[in-house]
Amino acid sequence: MDFIIEEKENTENYSVVAVSGRLNGASALEFKRQIKQIVETGKSRLILDLGAVVFIDSSGLSALISGLKCAREAGGFFRLADLRDQPVSVIKLMMLDRVFDIYADVTAAKP
Amino acid sequence: MKSAHHHDTRLLLSRAIGFAACALGLNYIIWRYTFGLNLQALWFSIPMVIAETYGIMDMLLFVFMSWRKPKREALPSPQKADVDIFITTYNEPEELVATTAKAAMHIDWPDKKVYILDDGARASMKKVADEIGCGYVSRGKEWTEKPRHAKAGNINNALLETSGEFILILDADQIPAPTILRKTLGFFTDPALAFVQTPQYFYNLPPGDPFGNEASLFYGPIQQGKDGWNAAFFCGSNAVLRREALMQLGIHEYVETMEKREREMLDKLMKRVKKTSCDDEESCAAVKRLTEGLKAARKALDDKASLEHVSDLIIEAVRDTEFLVSKKEVGEIAGAMNELAEEGDTEAAAVYRHIIGNLDSIARKTPSSIEALRGSEEYLEALNLARSDEAVPVQALATISITEDMATAMRLHSHGWKSIFYPEVLAYGLAPEDLGSSLKQRLRWAQGTVQVFVRENPLFKKGLSFPQKMMYFATMYSYFSGFFNLVLLLAPIIYFFTGIAPVSSWSVDFFVRFIPFFIMNKIIFRFVASGIPVWRGEQYNLAMFPLNIKAVISVLSGKKLQFVVTPKQKEGGHDFHLIWPQATIIVLTIAAATYGITEFFLGPGIPLVGLFVNLTWSIYNLISLAVVVKALYYQPPEGWSAQMPEFARGDARSGHAPSRRP
């Protein structure tokens, strides 16, 4: 499954960014680049719809942290929503649930 | 099977000798404490017996380390694995880096990408990379005005720019053999393996190794012994690492640091707010809102809520408090307008109505400073999880020390990762070619090691097994030797000048305990070394006392240490100041011995045994210290030059284009 990242919904209050495929070493760079671009256009209140992400490795997690850094430095947030089992288990394994705000689905993540 | 049998027999014999050496050592030192102290001169005998105890501890650790010696044979390499090859450079000559990069391009492995990690960000180096056809990485603008963390930072930066499953790290001068990946990747079929370290071998050591750079003892029996306890050291170059292991380490470190920081900053803020007084209802309400907000954040933190949530609670509390204060201030302005209006000012009346009608939105938009938060911007920023004090949030390679490699390996081991030392030489590098450079390198290692000892002491590190703790401790411990060696160097001098001995008497009791131990100590070291010359190392161990003392003191005094890139070319100059402490001891020893001999023949003098023991001891010290004097004035023999390994020489000459671009 190819890696895709796209803006899905934009409101004044938040933007939903949908990601699908494998978030790993190979796609981490692209992910970081796209998030940076989105934040640079003034959208820093981000909800990441990860419903279609089937796999995350530690490079992918590191990219999520970079995204968090990017959004928060711009005064926004970086919420993760709708995670599948594998991403949840690696996030828990590395205690990143200690850092990220994780929501059951996109609706719950909306402020 | 014969060689395996031989290996086992040798190991058993080594254990027997080691055991005997330890027993004799303990027998001697116990006697020294109970009957062997010169009670008339405790100022002398106590430091002396402590120095001896240090040496015996060192031997015990050495014997423990050499208890196992795994036989490592290369395993068949995997079908497919993406490997990134990092060549780290800062200011080394382009030609040197180019030789390494070309050799890296010729490594026998299809799925590889070679990168020059140029911390010097030199345009000329970029050109070299383009010509060779390899990748080039230098730091981005996110590193501007942020701590750079030397080599560790350079690699951490590249880790985020690349994606291979495995990483081969090479120093600029370490020319890799074509087989380096074929020999090492096979080990990674064990999913818990984090890294394979191979030896550092120097092809430019002058005959006789005047600077004591020969590393085959460390990259042989010592690393093999550590490997036996799953505690092989990662040494910053010539090693293959699993990216996943490094990234996990970085993420762990990020989470831990953020949580710790959130807690600390919250505590600091609460302390400040507690100290704030308020004198009217509105400002008291504002302070109350802040206090409650911080308390709620604190509770959320204790309840293991996400740090992002905690951070949001704090930001919200600060924003609300600002609003309350601002509302009060805006209200005061409205009040003033009202007074003017009552005096008939119609414009003021309009302003008053406008403010009162939109009080909340005006207050939200008006910046306000809260007394309690004044000057606390840095706390608030630190609470933001952005790690804005660092260029990159996730730092896989430890940045707590100027020897990042040791700290990183220790963290990997403490997280349960495994390591392997594979003893075949697969890369050929350069050792410093003069005493000054050699001392700089030694000082960095010593300081870095002591730094890790202070900041992340292995003895208290969770997750390390007892033997792993011992392996790290043993190496750190050895860098404290300077103080004890100084005592051993001064002892015969003191004896000759004062006639005071550090032992109760040079008696039979002393010799029957000391001599067997001393001989066994020398034997076990040589037996484990199995043919590798050890004498040069022993000389340097004693002669490096000023450097080791300096390293410990500089770390303990909390001075900021510099990562000094070891010069790869001869710097020249015979600065006498490099060896003045050793020279001083040499002069004092000679003077003391002369005085002692004169006294023996002319004066009431010292006993013959005392004279003999201390003369022998002085000669040993002199021969050891002489090594640095010789090194300072060393000139390589006429016609000698470093010989690059055969496979790299062709490349350097032809410099032909590699067959594959990364």
Judged by a CB distance cut-off of 8 A, whether residue B382 touches chain A is no
In chain B, domain spans: 2-65+480-555+578-632, 83-251+394-465, 254-382
Range list of H helices, B464-505: 466-478, 481-498
Q: Is B1 helix (H, G, I), strand (E, B) or coil?
A: coil
- DSSP codes joined into one string, B370-429: -GGGTT-HHHHHHTTSS-TTSSSS---S--SSS-HHHHHHHHHHHTT-EEEE--S--EEE
What predicted TM-score, i.e. pTM, was given to this entire model?
A: 0.90
Selected residue with higher pLDDT from A107 and B328? A107
Q: How far apart are CA B626 and CA B585, in angstroms?
A: 11
Q: Give the whole-angstrom CA distance, residue B77 versus residue B260.
A: 42
pLDDT of B332 reads 86
Residue in B closest to A23 by C-alpha: B163
The total number of structural domains that make up chain A: 1
Q: Residues near B244 by Cβ (< 8 Å), separated by ≥ 6? A: A57, A58, A59, B165
pLDDT of amino acid B420: 98
Chain B partners within 8 Å of A25 (Cβ): 162-165, 243
- Condensed to tens digits (0 to 9), the pLDDT of residues B31-73 reads 999 999 999 999 999 999 999 999 999 999 999 999 999 999 9
Domain that holds residue A38: 4-109
**Model pLDDT, residue B654:** 41
Asked if the model's pLDDT at residue B430 lies above 60, the reply is yes
Question: At A72, which CATH number?
Answer: 3.30.750.24
Q: Stretch B259-279: mean pLDDT, rounded? A: 86
Q: Which pLDDT band holds residue B653 (cuts at 50, 70, 90)?
A: very low
Q: Is the ipTM of this complex over 0.95?
A: no
Name the least confident of B102-106, B429-433, B532-536, B646-650.
Answer: B646-650
What local confidence, expressed as pLDDT, does residue B570 receive?
62
Q: Give the whole-angstrom CA distance, residue B474 versus residue B468.
A: 10
DSSP-assigned letter for residue B214: -
Q: Which of B160, B251, B385 is facing A72, going by the closest CB pair?
A: B385
- Taking CA atoms, what residue in B is nearest to A103? B306
- Candidates B142, B313, B381, B394: best to mutate against A (most CBs of A within 10 A) is B394
Which of B37-41, B462-466, B637-641 shows the lowest per-residue confidence on average (mean pLDDT)? B637-641
Which residues in A lie closer than 8 A to residue B386 (C-beta atoms)? 68-69, 72-73
Nearest to B254 among A28, A59, A65 (CB): A65
Chain A residues near residue B307 by CB distance under 8 angstroms: 98-99
Q: Which residue among B160, B163, B386 sits closest to A73, beta carbon to beta carbon?
A: B386
Q: Domain B83-251+394-465 maps to which CATH number in 3.30.70.260, 3.40.50.300, 3.40.50.2300, 3.90.550.10?
A: 3.90.550.10
CA B25 to chain centre: 31
- Give the rounded percent of residues in chain B with a pLDDT score beyond 70: 95
Alpha helices in B241-306 (DSSP H): 243-275, 281-302
CB–CB of A100 and B308 under 8 A? yes
Residue pLDDT, tens place only, B542-559: 999 999 999 999 999 987
Q: What is the pLDDT of residue B348?
A: 87
Cβ distance A25 to B252 less than 8 Å, yes or no, reads: no
Contact B160 A62 (CB under 8 A): yes
Confidence tier at B324 by pLDDT (50, 70, 90): confident
Q: Which residues from A are below 8 Å from B248, CB to CB?
A: 58, 94
Of A29, A62, A69, the CB nearest to B386: A69
Q: CB neighbours of B379 closer than 8 A, spacing ≥ 6?
A: B265, B268, B269
Whose tokens are 């090594």? That residue is B627
Q: Does B386 lie at the interface with A, CB-CB under 8 angstroms?
A: yes
Query: CA torsion B10→B11→B14→B19, rounded to 10°?
Result: -150
Q: Which of A3, A65, A91, A97 to mutate to test the interface with B (most CBs of B within 10 A)?
A: A65
H or E element: which one contains B445?
Answer: helix B435-455
Contacts with B628 (C-beta within 8 Å, 6 or more apart), sequence order = B435, B540, B543, B578, B579, B582
C-alpha triplet B330, B365, B387: angle, nearest 5°: 125
Distance between first and last Cα of chain B: 42
DSSP assignment of B299-340? HHHHTT--HHHHHHHHHHHHHHHHHHHHHHHHHHHHHHHHHH
Residue B4 scores a pLDDT above 80: no
Residue B405 has pLDDT above 70, yes or no: yes
Distance from the Cα of A95 to chain B's closest Cα (Å) equals 7
